Structure 1
Amino acid sequence: MDISKYAVKNYQFTLIMVIMVIVIGASTILNMPRAEDPETRPPVFPVVAIYPGTSPKDMEELVVKPLEKRIYDLDNIKTIKTNIINGVAVLAVEYKYGSNVDDKYQELVRETNAIRNLLPADLYSLEVQKVDPTNVNILQIALVSENASRAQMKKVAEGLQDELEKIMALKEVKVAGLSDQLVRVDVAPDKLAKLGIPMSTLMQAIQSEAANIPGGSVVTGGKSLSVKTSGNYQSIEEIKNTIVYSNSGKNVLLSDVAAVYPDFAPETHITRLNHFRSVVVTAAQKPGENISKTQKAYLPVIEAYKKTLPANIGLIVNFDQAENVNSRLGGLGEDFGIAILLVLITLLPLGTRASAVVMIAIPLSLSIGIVLINALGFSLNQLSIVGFVVALGLLVDDSIVVVENIERWMREGYSRLDATLKGTRQIMLAVIGCTATLIIAFMPIMFMPEMSGDFIRSLPIAVISSVLGSMVVALTVVPFLSSRILKPHENAEGNAVLRALQRGIHGTYAVLLDKAIKKPWLTILVAVAIFGGALALMPVVGFSLFPASEKPQFMIDITSPLQANIQYTDSITRQIERQLDTMKVVHYYSSNVGKGNPQIYYNVQQRNESEDFAEIFVQLQPNTRPDEKTEIIEKLRKRWTPYPGAKVEVKNFEQGVPVIAPVEVRLMGENLDTLNRLARQGEGLLLKTQGTMYVNNPLKNNKTDLRVRINTQKALAMGVPTVNIDRTVRMALAGADLATFTDPTSTDNDYLIRISVPRPSHPDITVFNDLYVDNVQNKPVPLSQLATLELESSAAQVNHYNKIRTVSVSAYVQHGFLNDKVINDVIHQMDQIKFPAGYSYAMGGEVESRQQSFAGFGTIILITVFLFIAVLVLEFKTFKSTLIVLSVIPLGVVGAVLALLFTGNTLSFVATIGIVALAGIEVKNTILLVDFTNQLRREGLGLNEAIEKAGEIRFLPIILTTLTAIGGLTPIALSSNPLIAPLAIVMIGGLISSTLLSRIVTPVIYKLMPPEIA
C-alpha cells in the first residue's frame, strides 16, 4: 500500500490522527516522570560489619575472611572490594551488571544470615545495604539554632520528619546531626565488687524488666482478651528501682550501685549551616515520580511547618534538587526555542508555505517520540531532553527532502496533487533508507553495557523514537499538507532566497566540482592527507571519560592526622568555615564533622563515621558560571595546599561512574610490610608525576592501638573466660545497649538503655582503673590482675580486592592537564618497578571505569558497520554504491577533531558517542546524492553529467538538512553543561567538514568506481 497516497486521499482520517498525536503528546509531557538524572540500578551491595574496638587485622581474621569466602562462591559475583578500619569493615559486593538487583539482594542477605553463627557472638551489627541511586536526596533542610537544647532540636526535627513522611512521593526521610537519646546507667564497679554482685546479673535484671512478654489470651463474655503482664519500663524512676540482687531478704536496687539519668550519646556527627549549629533533615524521591510535582507537594508543608517553629529555631532549605531540575529543564526549553528559530531560518529558501509544512513536522515528531519514550519507561531528564534537542535538527530532514522534491516537481509544471504523489514516491525509499541509517548510528549507544549504558540510554532512545516519528510524518502528514497548502512560486526558479542560493551553487560549487572531477586522484590524495592530519591531532586533543559537573557546588574534604579526635577535626573545620564566610560568592555551606554530607549527588556516596574526617558541601550563588566555579576551586586548592594540621581537598563533582580518583594504582599481595614498601614507592612515583595532586597512600601512617594484653595463665587460674574480659572492656568504653525505654508521658519517648562505667563522653586511659571482670563463679576479679596495657603500632586500614590484600595509591589530576597523559605517564613508570614474586599492580580509577564503560563497545560498532552495509546494499543492490556512501565517514572525523581542539575539549565518553551518531547523519546525506545520481543515469544521462547535475540539485536539500541539524545542536554546543556540550560540538564540526568535503570527494569517488546501473 502507498502510505503517502492513502494519507492524501483520506485527509479527514489523517487530520484526526494528527490532532490525536498532539493531544496525547502534550498530556504525556505534562504527566511523565521527571528527574535530574536517569535512573540506574547497579547490582552493588555494601555489607557493613561493625565490631567496636576491633583492630583492622583482627577484623580481617574474625569477620572479613569468613564473609568473603562465603560470598565469593555465589554465582555472578564480579568483584568484592573490602575496606577494613578500626571496628568497621565494608565489603562492596558487585554482581555482574544485568543481574536482578532484588534477587541478588535477597540472596546476599540470606547468605550473610547463614554465616552469622560463625562470626563473633558479640559482633555489634552485620547489615547488607542497597546502593540505590534513587536514594539520592532531593531535599536537604537545616534547622538552625545556637541556643535550643538537644531535646528541643530533636523534637522539632522529628516533627518535620513526620510531616514529610506523609508525602507519598518522598521516601528515606532522615535526620542527621543528632545523637541517640539515652537512659544512661553508669555502674560503679567498686560497689558491685564490694557487694559481690556480678555485672552479668545486673545486666540480666535490666533486660528482664524491660522485656515485654505477651501473657496470652483468655475468653470471657464471648470476647477474647489479650493478657498483659509486666514489662516495658514506664519511667526512669522504675529503672532506678529495678531489683538487681537480693540477699537475706534485703534487695539491692539499681540506684544503689549505678547512676541512672537521661542523656544523649556522644556526638559522632556534628552539623552546621554557614557556621551556625544545625540539625539536618533530608528526603529522597520515589522512583517514577515527577520532581516538579513532588516539589509542589513538599514546599507548602515546609512553609506551614516553618510557621510553627519556636523563635529560637530557624528553618532553611539549603538544597532543593527540584530547583536545579526546573532550571535545567527551563534552560533546555530555551535552547529548544532557539533551536526551532534557527531551524526556521534555514528553511527560508523553501518559502513561507513550504517552511510551515516542514515546521509542523517538529511538534508531531516530538509528540510521537515523547509518547514512545514514556511507554518504554524512561523519564524526562537531562539526557533524554538532550536527545530530543539533538533530534530537533534531524527530524525535519525527511520533511525537507520530501517538500523540496515536491516543489521541484511543481516548478517543472506538475499540478500540486501530482507533484505531491510523484515527488513523495520518488524519494520514499531514500527517506526510509536515511532513517534506517540514522537509527543504526544510534544503536551502539542504545546497547552500551554496564552503568554507563544505563545512564546514557535515554538519549539515543529519544533520538530514535523522534526520528521514527519524523519518517512517518514525512511520508504521511507532509504529503497531505503539501497537497493542500503548497502553491507554485511566482518565479519558476523559486523565491529570492532560493534563487540566490542556486546562483551561488552554480557559480562556486559547480565550478569546484568540475575541477575536482577532472583531477580525481589529486582530490582523493588531499582528502586522505586531511584525514591523516586529523588523526595525528588526536593525542593533542587527549581522552577523558566524563567531565566535571557544571552545577555551582563542590565539596571540601578535611582529613585530620590519623586518630585525631572529633574535637580537633571540628577546630580545623571551623578555620575553613571562617574563610568561606568571607567569600560573597558562597551562598550556603553545610559542614559535617565526623561523617560525610548526606548524599545529594548521584555518584557520591556519604562517607561513614570517622572522627578524623569532615566534609563541607559548598553551594555557590545560583548564577555562578562553570568557569567561575573552576577558578574558585583552583584558588582554594592553592590556598589550602598544604594546610597546617590537616589535609584539605577541594573536589568538584564529577559525571559518570564513581571512582576513588582518576589515577588509582592497585597494589596486590599478602604481606602488609611488603605492600607498605610498594605503596610508598607508588606514592613517591605519583608525587613526582607532573599534573598529579591530592596523592593518597592509606598505609602512609600506622595507627597506635592500646592493647589489653591478657595473661591467659592467670585468667585460667582465676576462672575468667577471655570473652568476659572483652565484653567488660567494651562495656566500659563503648557501653552496652540493653533495651529500649518508652516514656509514655513524653512525645520524645524513645530511649536506649545504655550501661557503662562512669567516664567522660570521650574516655581516656583512666577508664581501666577499678574495672572488674566476672569469673565462672560470677565473682568479680580486678582487670589489673588479669591483663596489662601496651601500646602497639598497626596498619590504619586493610583493603582486599577479590579476597587479596590490596593497597590503592591514588591521585587527582590538576586542572589544565589531560587525564589520559598523566595516567599513561604513571603506567610507564609503574612498569619499570620490579615486583617481588606474588605481588603485582593493576590500574583502577578512570582506566578501569573506561574499560567497563566501553566493554563490548567494539563488538557493537562492528555489528553497526555490518548493519550499515546491509541496509545500503539492500537499497542500492550494489557494493560500489555502498562503499561510496560509507567513504564519507572519515571526512566527518576531521571536523569533529578540529572542533574539540579549538574549543579546548577532550575526546570524552559523550564526544565518542557524538562521533558514532555523526556517522549516521553523514551517511544519510550521502544516500540522497548517490541515489539521485543513479536515478539520473537510469534516465539516460552520461556519467559526468549525472554526477554534476545530481551534485547541484541535491546540494540544496543536503545543505538545508545540515544547517537544520547544526541549528538544533548549536544551543547545546553553547551550553554550560560539559557533559552534553562535547556531543554537539563534535557533531557540528563533523557536519561542517563532511558536508563541505564530501560534496566534492563523494562525486569524485563515484567517478572512479561508478556502480553498475540496472
Structure 2
Amino acid sequence: MFNSVIKKPKITLLFLLLVTIIGAITFTQLPQREIPEVTFDIGMISTPYPGASPEEVERRITNPLEEELLNIDGIADISSVSTSGFSNIIVEVSEQADRDQVFSKIQQTVSDVSASFPDQVQDPDVSEEIQLGALSSYHLLSDDRENIYELNGLTDEWEQEIQGIPGVQGTLVKGIPSEEVVIDIDFDALFDEGLQIPDVISAIDDELNTVPLGVERVDDENVQLALPVIEDVEELESLSIGLNFDDEPVYLSDVGTVSVERVDEEDLITHEGTPAVSFTVIPDAGVDIPGLHETVDERMEMLAGDLPGEVNLDLFYTQNTVVQEIFGDLSLSFLFAIIAVIIVTLLGLNVSSAVIVALAIPVSILIGLVPLPFMNVDLNQISIIGIIIALGILVDDAIVVGDNIQRKYQEGLSPLEGAIEGSREVRVSIITSTLAIVFTFLPLVFITGANGDFIRALPSVLITTIIASTIIALSLVPIYLIWLQRRKVRKQGTGATEQPGVKVGLLGKQIDRLAGWYSNTLLRRVVKHPVKVGLTGLVFCILCYGLIPFIPVVFFPSADRPEVTIDVRMPAGTPIEETENVLFDMEEFITAEDENVIETAVYTGSGLPPLFGEGMSNTGEETGQILLRVDREQQSSEATIDRWTSTLEDAYPDAVIELSTIEAGPPVGAPIAIKLQGPEMDELKAIRDDLQEYIRLIPESGTVVDDLGDDRPTLLYEPDRDLMEENGITLNQISEQIGLATDGIPIGTFDDGLNTLDMQLVVNGDAEELVLEDFVVPSQVSGEGGMPEFIGLDELVTETRTEQTPLIARENGDRTITVRVFPGEDDQQGLEEQIESYVADLTSSSDFDNDYSIAIGGETEERSDFFVELAMLFIVVVFLIYIVMAIQFYSLVMPLLVMSTVFLAITGAIIGLFITQTGLGFMAMMGIVSLSGIVVRNSIVLIEFIEQRRREGMALEDAVVNAGNVRLRPILLTAITAIAALLPVAFSGDVLFVPLAISIISGLLFSAVFTVILVPAFYTALKRKSARKAENAAS
C-alpha cells in the first residue's frame, strides 16, 4: 500500500493537504481552557427545615431520604450534612451506571419520601450539576454598604441578561441579602380580638391561593374569567382576618404590620476594605474560555452604565487571565521546542532531510488535531504539553525514514528505488514502534475518576499525533526526497549525488567518527564479553532502584498562582458581624507585616464563590475566608502559607484557621484525613478529641481541623408532659409558638407582578429576646362559660442553657467525623506512620467499641489508589507491547530483549528525579509510563537491522557491529530531539510539568546510552545460547 502511495504522489499530496487544512480549521475552533474539564457524577439534594435542630433534621429529613437512596442501584456513595434548619445530601453515581436513569430514580425517590415530611419542611431541591470553576467574578463596590444593598433588583436583571448568553451555565450573586414579605403580628392585640395565629394564616392563604376560574362562552367568544389579585404588599394590611368578640371584622392592620424586609445577611464582602457585592459567571461545559469571557465582559461593561455614580464595577477574577498566561508560557516552550528539534536535525542530517523533518512537525500536529473534537479533547495545558512531548517523538519516524533513504542514495539507487527500498527496510519497525506507543498510551485513556479526566487529553493527543507522524514519515518524506533527488539528478546529470563518506549534517563527520569508534571498538568488545557487560549493566540498574525512598513524593504540587486562601472558623454561635471583625483584624495584621501581599478580599459567611474549585463547606455566621494575592516574583504562595500558618494560629487561638493555595490538578483533599464512624455522636467526639490531642503533641504536625467544630450554644426547652396531657396540648403547638417568636414560619409566597417573594409570619418581631410569659397556647379544656383557657409558655416548658452538636455528617448512612491534617511536605510520611500506629493500638484495645471504625485516607489514599491503578495499567501496557513484539519477531524471547529498554528508561527516570529532587507524583508517573512506548522504538529498529543482516548471511558479531554503525545516528538523533523538545519545559519552572519532563528526559538519556551497549550485549548472549542449544541438540 505504501509503495502505491509513494508512486502516486499527486493524489497523496492532495489528500494530505486536505486533511492538513481540516486540522488547521480544527485548531482555530477548539475551545481553550486552563485545565481539562473534570466531571463529577454527583448530585445534591438540599432540603430546608427552618428552625429545626441538626438532630431533628437528621431524624426527619436526612435519615428517611438516605434509607431509600441506598436502595437505588447505580449509587456508589452517599454523604450528608444535617445542620440547623438544613439537610444537604450528596449522591455519587458509579461510573458503570446509566447517569440519567439513576437521577430519574433519585428524583422519584425524593418526591415519594418528601410527601411524609412535616409541614414546615420546604420542598427538596435536587441538583444534578455541581458548580466548580468560574469563568469570571466581578465586584460591585461602594463605600456605603446600603448603596449596594439597593441593587437587589438590578442584579436580578443582570443575572437574566448574562444567563441568556450562549455558553453561560448560570450566575451566582453574593453579598446582597434577599427580600421577603414579613407579617409581624402583635400577639397581645390578636389575643384581645379573640383571634389566633391560624386565623391569620388561613385568611392570607384564602386570599392569595385562589383556584383558576376557567373560561366561559359569551356571545360566541371564549372569555377568560379572573379575580383581582393583590399585587401591592400594603394592600395585605386591609385584609380581613376574622370577627372579634363583637362580631366586627378585624383587619390585619389592627393586629400587625406588613412590610418588605431584607433577610439577615448570609455574606458580608469587602475588597481592599471597600464593601462589595460578588457577581460570578459560571460557564457551560466545553466552551471556549477566551471567547466567552470577551462576550461576557463586553456585556458587563454595557450593564455597568446603569449603576449609580457611587457604585463601581471591578473585574476581580477571570479564568481567561490564567488561560492566556498558561498558553503564552506553553506557546513559548512550544516554539523553543520546534527550534531545538530543527537545530538537532541539522546537526546530524543534511539540509534536505532536515527540511522534511521540520515540515513533518506542523503537518503531523495539524493532522493529529482532527480527531480531538470527537474525543472530547480541547486545548488546555495538558493537551498542549502532550503536543510538546509529541514533538520529540513525531520526528523520529521522519528521521529514521529520511536517514535510511539517504543511505540508499549513497549506495547508488535511483530516486524512486532508493525511496521505496529505504522506506521498506524500516517500515515494519516504524509501524511496530508506533503501535507500541499507541498501546502504551491507550490504557491511560481509561484511568477512572477525576485523575482520568485530568490526564486523558495527554494520551489522546499523543496517540493521534504519533499516528499522523507515521503516515507522514511513510508517505510525505519519501515523496519529498524523490522530488529532491530527481532535481539533483537533472541538475548534475548523474544518478547519485552523494557518495559514502560525504559529510551529512553540521556534525555529520563527527557523528560518523563516533559511529565508527562505537561499532569497531566499543561494540567489538561488547560482543566478545556480552554476559559480563549485560550483568554489569543489569546490576547497576537494579541498584539504582534503591534511590526511590530518597525521592520526595508529591501527588499534585501547588500551582504557581498568586492566590492564597485563609479559611477561618470561629466558635459556634459567633454572630456574623463579630466574625467579620476578626477577619478584618487578620487582614490588617497580614498586610501590615507582609509587603508581598498586594491585594486582599474578605468573604464573611459562606466564603468565596467557586473560583478555584470547591468552596468552603459547612458554612454559617461563624465562618469566612480571606483571599490574599501575593507578588510571585518576591514570595510564592507556598512560602506565604509557611510564613503565616503558625503565626495566625498563635494570634487567634479561638479560631480554626487553614491556609491553602490552588493545586495543579484535580482536588484530592487534605494530605492526611482520618475518618471516624459510629452510631453515637458523643462517643465519636470523644475519639476525635483524643486523636486530635495526640496529633497536636507530635512536633511539626501542622494544622489539625475537623468538619464538626465546637458545640453550638443552645437553649433547651424541656416540656412539662403532665401539664400538656391535662390540657390536650401537643409539642407541635409549643414549637410553632416558639418558632413564631424567633425566626417566624413560612406561609407561602407573594407575587407583586414582577418578583415572587417569600412570606414570613412572625410574632412580636421587634422584641429583642424571647419572653415566654408573653405567649400562650389554647387549652382543649374549656374554662368558665365554655370559653377556652390559655396556658402560658413559661408554664409549659423549662428553659435550660446547654450546648449541642452544630452538625451531623454521615457517609453511606453512618455518622462520620473527618479529622484533616495539613503537615509540612517533609513531615507527612513520618506523621502518617505515627498516626497509623496510634490508630492500630486504639482499635485493637479491648476497650474499643467495635461499632466504631477509624480509617486513614486523604491525599495518601488517593495517591495509593492511583498508583495501584497505574500499576495495573502498566502491566497491561507491557503486555500489549510484548504482543506487538512477539508478532513482529515471531518469538517469545525477543520481545523480552526489546522490553529491557523500558527497564533501562525507568532507571534513568529514577536517577533524574533523585538528582533534581523532583517530586514523584502523578505527572512523574505519567512520564515513566510514557517512556515505555517511546524507548522501545530504538531497540526495535536496532534489532530489526541485526536480524536483516543475519538473514543476508552475516555472522552474528558482524551483524551486530554493522547494525550498530548504521543505526547509531538515528538513535542519537531521535533521543536528542525528544530531549531537546522537553528541555524548555524542564527549565520552565512549571510545577505541574517539570516532573514529567525530568522523568522523560532522564529516562531517554539513560536509555539511549545503555540501549546501544546493553541491547547488543543481551542479543549476542541470547543468540549464542540458542546456537549452543541447537548444536547440543544436533549432536
- Interval of TM-score (by shorter of Structure 1 and Structure 2): over 0.9
**1:245-299 deviation per Cα after TM superposition (whole angstroms, max 9, x unaligned):** 2244522111111122232111121122222111111111122221121122112
Q: Name the counterpart of 2:820.
A: 810
Q: Which moved more, 1:704-713 or 1:463-472?
A: 704-713
Alignment partner of 1:966 is 2:979 = yes
Q: Name the counterpart of 1:752.
A: 758
CA contact (8 A) 2:630 2:636 kept: no
C-alpha separation in 2, matches of 1:546 and 1:864: 24
Quick one: structure 1 residues 230 and 781, their matched pair in 2 at CA, closer, same or farther if it must change by over 3 Å? farther
Q: Residue type of the partner of 1:846?
A: E
Q: Name the counterpart of 1:635.
A: 643
C-alpha separation in 1, matches of 2:885 and 2:1010: 21
Q: Name the counterpart of 1:213.
A: 211
How do residues 436-475 of structure 1 correspond to structure 2 at under 5 angstroms? 436-475=435-474
Quick one: structure 1 residues 764 and 889, their matched pair in 2 at CA, closer, same or farther if it must change by over 3 Å? farther
CA displacement at 1:509 relative to structure 2 = 6.8
Quick one: structure 1 residues 600 and 584, their matched pair in 2 at CA, closer, same or farther if it must change by over 3 Å? same
Q: Residue type of the partner of 2:660?
A: K
CA contact (8 A) 2:141 2:313 kept: yes
Q: Which moved more, 1:720-729 or 1:771-780?
A: 771-780
**1:729-771 deviation per Cα after TM superposition (whole angstroms, max 9, x unaligned):** 2232222232333445xx7x543332212346xx864354513
Gaps of 5+ in 2: 489-496, 782-787, 1031-1035
CA displacement at 1:809 relative to structure 2 = 1.7
CA contact (8 A) 1:197 1:780 kept: no
1:287 to 285, 295, 305: 285
CA displacement at 1:914 relative to structure 2 = 1.2
Q: Residue type of the partner of 2:236?
A: I
1:772 to 770, 773, 776: 776
Q: Which moved more, 1:14-23 or 1:115-124?
A: 115-124
Q: Residue type of the partner of 2:775?
A: L
CA contact (8 A) 1:944 1:1007 kept: yes
CA contact (8 A) 2:44 2:90 kept: yes
CA contact (8 A) 2:445 2:459 kept: yes
1:610 to 620, 623, 639: 620
Quick one: structure 1 residues 412 and 116, their matched pair in 2 at CA, closer, same or farther if it must change by over 3 Å? same
Alignment partner of 1:545 is 2:555 = yes
CA displacement at 1:657 relative to structure 2 = 4.5
Q: Residue type of the partner of 1:127?
A: D
How do residues 533-572 of structure 1 correspond to structure 2 at under 5 angstroms? 533-572=543-582
Alignment partner of 1:601 is 2:612 = yes
CA contact (8 A) 2:120 2:745 kept: no
CA displacement at 1:707 relative to structure 2 = 1.1
- Could you tell me the TM-score, scaled by structure 2's length? 0.92
Q: Name the counterpart of 1:826.
A: 835
CA displacement at 1:774 relative to structure 2 = 4.8
C-alpha separation in 1, matches of 2:565 and 2:681: 32
CA contact (8 A) 1:42 1:101 kept: no
C-alpha separation in 1, matches of 2:633 and 2:536: 42
Alignment partner of 1:979 is 2:992 = yes
SS in 1 for 2:371: helix
SS in 2 for 1:887: helix
2:140 to 139, 143, 159: 143
CA displacement at 1:520 relative to structure 2 = 2.9
How do residues 444-593 of structure 1 correspond to structure 2 at under 5 angstroms? 444-486=443-485, 488-489=497-498, 492-507=502-517, 510-582=520-592, 585-593=596-604
Q: Name the counterpart of 1:365.
A: 364
Alignment partner of 1:663 is 2:672 = yes
2:111 to 104, 110, 113: 113
C-alpha separation in 1, matches of 2:801 and 2:839: 36
Q: Residue type of the partner of 1:728?
A: Q
Alignment partner of 1:901 is 2:900 = no
User: Percentage identity across aligned positions?
Assistant: 26
CA contact (8 A) 1:193 1:772 kept: no
Quick one: structure 1 residues 913 and 554, their matched pair in 2 at CA, closer, same or farther if it must change by over 3 Å? same
CA displacement at 1:848 relative to structure 2 = 3.1
SS in 2 for 1:358: helix
CA contact (8 A) 1:733 1:767 kept: no
**1:286-316 deviation per Cα after TM superposition (whole angstroms, max 9, x unaligned):** 2222112112211221222223322100000
Quick one: structure 1 residues 934 and 822, their matched pair in 2 at CA, closer, same or farther if it must change by over 3 Å? farther
CA displacement at 1:336 relative to structure 2 = 1.0
Quick one: structure 1 residues 510 and 788, their matched pair in 2 at CA, closer, same or farther if it must change by over 3 Å? farther
SS in 1 for 2:819: strand
2:1014 to 1001, 1009, 1013: 1001
1:241 to 238, 241, 248: 238
C-alpha separation in 2, matches of 1:163 and 1:620: 34
CA displacement at 1:150 relative to structure 2 = 4.9
Quick one: structure 1 residues 776 and 751, their matched pair in 2 at CA, closer, same or farther if it must change by over 3 Å? farther
Q: Name the counterpart of 2:251.
A: 253
Alignment partner of 1:296 is 2:309 = no
SS in 1 for 2:412: coil
Q: Which moved more, 1:484-493 or 1:445-454?
A: 484-493
CA displacement at 1:397 relative to structure 2 = 0.9
C-alpha separation in 2, matches of 1:913 and 1:64: 41
CA displacement at 1:886 relative to structure 2 = 0.9
CA contact (8 A) 1:596 1:608 kept: no
Gaps of 5+ in 1: none
Q: Which moved more, 1:556-565 or 1:158-167?
A: 158-167
Q: Name the counterpart of 2:200.
A: 202
C-alpha separation in 1, matches of 2:612 and 2:706: 26
C-alpha separation in 2, matches of 1:914 and 1:146: 52
Q: Name the counterpart of 1:326.
A: 324
CA contact (8 A) 2:148 2:311 kept: no
SS in 1 for 2:649: coil
How do residues 726-741 of structure 1 correspond to structure 2 at under 5 angstroms? 726-741=735-750
Quick one: structure 1 residues 429 and 821, their matched pair in 2 at CA, closer, same or farther if it must change by over 3 Å? farther
C-alpha separation in 1, matches of 2:700 and 2:899: 40
CA contact (8 A) 1:193 1:780 kept: no
CA displacement at 1:852 relative to structure 2 = 4.4
SS in 2 for 1:537: helix
C-alpha separation in 1, matches of 2:778 and 2:342: 88
**1:882-906 deviation per Cα after TM superposition (whole angstroms, max 9, x unaligned):** 1111111121112211222233322
2:936 to 915, 923, 933: 923
**1:97-142 deviation per Cα after TM superposition (whole angstroms, max 9, x unaligned):** 2433333222212111111133333223423233435x53211111
C-alpha separation in 1, matches of 2:790 and 2:201: 14
Q: Residue type of the partner of 1:915?
A: I
Quick one: structure 1 residues 780 and 146, their matched pair in 2 at CA, closer, same or farther if it must change by over 3 Å? farther
C-alpha separation in 2, matches of 1:392 and 1:715: 82
Q: Residue type of the partner of 1:642?
A: D
C-alpha separation in 1, matches of 2:265 and 2:669: 28
CA displacement at 1:796 relative to structure 2 = 3.2
2:862 to 849, 853, 856: 849
C-alpha separation in 2, matches of 1:758 and 1:658: 48
C-alpha separation in 2, matches of 1:180 and 1:910: 45
CA displacement at 1:219 relative to structure 2 = 2.6
CA displacement at 1:467 relative to structure 2 = 0.6
C-alpha separation in 1, matches of 2:172 and 2:876: 48
CA displacement at 1:563 relative to structure 2 = 2.0
CA contact (8 A) 1:447 1:453 kept: yes
Q: Residue type of the partner of 1:628?
A: S
Q: Which moved more, 1:543-552 or 1:865-874?
A: 543-552
**1:694-739 deviation per Cα after TM superposition (whole angstroms, max 9, x unaligned):** 1024566433321121222222322322212222222322222323
How do residues 429-440 of structure 1 correspond to structure 2 at under 5 angstroms? 429-440=428-439
CA contact (8 A) 2:708 2:806 kept: yes
CA displacement at 1:595 relative to structure 2 = 0.5
C-alpha separation in 1, matches of 2:176 and 2:720: 41
CA displacement at 1:376 relative to structure 2 = 2.0
Matched pairs, number: 1001
Quick one: structure 1 residues 700 and 234, their matched pair in 2 at CA, closer, same or farther if it must change by over 3 Å? closer
Q: Name the counterpart of 1:869.
A: 882
**1:337-388 deviation per Cα after TM superposition (whole angstroms, max 9, x unaligned):** 1110111111012122111111111112111211111122222222122211
